[in-house]
């Protein structure tokens, strides 16, 4: 079963990084305020990056690696990410 690591842009400009097996549902949870404590406090706005991985273990390892990148490196990943891929998971 596939899993995903993702970054969500919060209203304060920060990037929140997490993992899930359902991107659409997880973004909806973050936006509704029932997601992570950080996104409840700083309001998740948009999903700006994700990677599909083979399983939960791989997603958790990649999440750990992304969380240890410098902000500048995370922003570069977001900048290079294809906006076409994000269209698949947009929620109105």
Q: Return the domain boundaries, the chain.
A: 3-86
**pLDDT tens-digit readout, 14-62:** 999 999 999 999 999 999 988 889 999 999 888 999 999 999 999 999 9
At residue 87, the pLDDT reads 63
Does domain 3-86 correspond to CATH entry 3.40.50.300?
Answer: no
Asked if residues 66 and 7 have their Cβ atoms less than 8 Å apart, the reply is yes
Q: Is the pTM of this model over 0.85?
A: yes
At residue 89, the pLDDT reads 62
pLDDT-based confidence at 91, cuts 50/70/90?
very low
In the sheet that holds 15-20, the strands lie side by side as 15-20, 3-10, 44-53
Question: In this predicted model, which residue has the larger pLDDT, 92 or 22?
Answer: 22
């Amino acid at each position: 079963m596939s899993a995903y690591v993702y970054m969500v842009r919060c209203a304060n400009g920060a990037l929140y990084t997490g993992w899930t097996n359902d991107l659409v549902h997880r973004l909806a949870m973050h936006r509704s305020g029932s997601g992570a404590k950080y996104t409840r406090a700083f309001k998740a706005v948009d999903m700006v990056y994700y990677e599909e991985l083979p399983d939960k273990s791989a997603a958790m390892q990649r999440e750990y690696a992304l969380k240890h990148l410098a902000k500048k490196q995370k922003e570069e990943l977001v900048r290079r990410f294809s906006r076409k891929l994000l269209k698949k998971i947009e929620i109105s």
